Structure 1
Amino acid sequence: MTTVTTRTVTYPADGLTMVGHLALPAGADRRPAVLLGPEGPGLNDFQRRRADALAELGYVALAFDLHGGRWFTDPQEMLARVTPLLADPDRMRDIGHAALDVLRAEPRTDPGRIAAVGYGTGGVIALELGRDGVDLRAIGTVNGLTTGRPGEAARIRCPVWAGVGSEDPIMPAAQRDAFAAEMQAAGVDWRLVVYGGALHAFHHPSVDQAVLPGVGHHPRHARRAWRDVVGLLAECLPVTE
């Protein structure tokens, strides 16, 4: 296994002090980098381990924060913060840009080779960075298939991969169709994978319906979605480029 170095990074965003998790691959050379966004409750050890796994593959990876170091366990408290955030593209972009600045400032990062991957709210932020015209090599979003402001998807400059559960009531078929229509109209190189039988947040091992209706872990599809994300990066952001 490749030796990975990790450290906590703090930075300001959205009026908070964000607490991110930076994972570096072995060596001293510049590497392609991945900005990794967490789901609505915030950054936890699951996404930190995802950043570590990306570093083992040779990427510089920053798992960014949404809530100033908090992980929400109360669904209503989480929704009270996340719902207005999701309705405000500029706030989401500010959070994404602040993390992106940290990632770009890391000496190991090749600033011309960065991808953004996110889950839920983090995936929506990755899309908003694309709609803001950020130079990314790839965008991946799992469970975060929102549409943006009219016409702004045309500013996306890279392939977009999206994954969602077929039984996700938070991202239902109508939302999937709207997302696909937006990407297609904008001329984006896009893909959408629908994982049969999966609910919202199917990728996350600790969620169930008791946390929030319509969420649930699907281990098989969680593994498949991770392989699909890694495949997207291998195609669009190869470590050996």
Structure 2
Amino acid sequence: MTTVTTRTVRYPADGLTMVGHLALPAGAGRRPAVLLGPEGPGLSDVERRRADALAERGYVALAFDLHGGRLLTDPEEMLARCLPLLADPDRMRDIGRAALDVVRAEPRTDACRIAAVGYGTGGAVGLELGRAGTDLRAIGTVNGLTTGRPGEAARIRCPVWAGVGSEDPIMPPARREAFTAEMQAAGVDWRLVVYGGALHAFHHPPVDHPVLPGVGHHPRHARRAWHDVLALLDECLPVRE
């Protein structure tokens, strides 16, 4: 297994001190980088492990924070923070840009080759970075199929891949259709994968705290979605030795 170096990084965003997890690949050369955004409850060991797995593949990976170092395990508390955030594109962009600044400041990062991959709220943050015209090589979002302000999707300058469960009540067919209509009207290079029978957050292993109705793990599709994310990165952000 490739040796990976990790460290905790603290940085300001959204009036909070965010606590992210930075994973660096072996070697000394510059590498492409991935911003990795978490689901609504916030940064957990699931995202930290994903960042480490990306570093093993040769990427600089930052699993970024949403809630100032907190994991919001109470669904009501999570919604009270995330719903206003999801309704405010500028706040999401500020959170994404702060994480992007951390990645760009890392000497191992090839600052011209960065992608954003996120889940739920973290995926929405990545999409808003794209709608802001940020120079990204790819955007991947699982469960976070948000639509933006009129016309701003035309600023997206990279391929967009999205994944969603067919039985996800939080991202129902109408939400999917609005998202894909926005991408198509803007001329974005987009793809949507619908994972049959999967609920919301199907990619996330079971947790020992309450979750929203309609949330459930689907191990087979979780593996497939991860492979699809890796395929997006292999296509748009290949690691060059």
Q: Under a length normalisation based on structure 1, what TM-score does the superposition of the two structures give?
A: 0.98
Q: Give the unaligned 5+ runs of structure 1.
A: none
Q: Partner residue of 1:40?
A: 40
SS in 2 for 1:78: helix
CA distance in 2 between counterparts of 1:181 and 1:24 reads 37
SS in 1 for 2:147: coil
1:32-59 CA-to-partner distances (Å, cap 9, x unmatched) read 0000000000000000000000000000
SS in 1 for 2:58: coil
Deviation at 1:128, TM superposition (A): 0.2
User: 1:180-219, aligned counterparts within 5 Å?
Assistant: 180-207=180-207, 210-219=210-219
Deviation at 1:240, TM superposition (A): 1.7
C-alpha contact (below 8 Å) 1:208/1:215 kept by paired residues: no
- Letter aligned with residue 185 of structure 1: A
Q: Under a length normalisation based on structure 2, what TM-score does the superposition of the two structures give?
A: 0.98
C-alpha contact (below 8 Å) 1:207/1:217 kept by paired residues: no
Work out whether 1:114 is the aligned partner of 2:114: yes
Q: Partner residue of 2:146?
A: 146
C-alpha contact (below 8 Å) 2:73/2:209 kept by paired residues: no
- Letter aligned with residue 6 of structure 2: T
Q: Percent identity at matched positions? A: 87
C-alpha contact (below 8 Å) 2:73/2:210 kept by paired residues: no
Q: Partner residue of 1:11?
A: 11
Greater than 4 Å deviation, 4+ residue runs: 207-210
1:39-98 CA-to-partner distances (Å, cap 9, x unmatched) read 000000000000000000000000000000000111001100001000000000000000
C-alpha contact (below 8 Å) 2:74/2:210 kept by paired residues: no
Q: Partner residue of 1:221?
A: 221
CA distance in 2 between counterparts of 1:207 and 1:24 reads 27
CA distance in 2 between counterparts of 1:84 and 1:215 reads 20
- Letter aligned with residue 25 of structure 2: P
Deviation at 1:212, TM superposition (A): 1.0
Work out whether 1:136 is the aligned partner of 2:129: no
Q: Partner residue of 2:65?
A: 65
C-alpha contact (below 8 Å) 1:158/1:188 kept by paired residues: yes
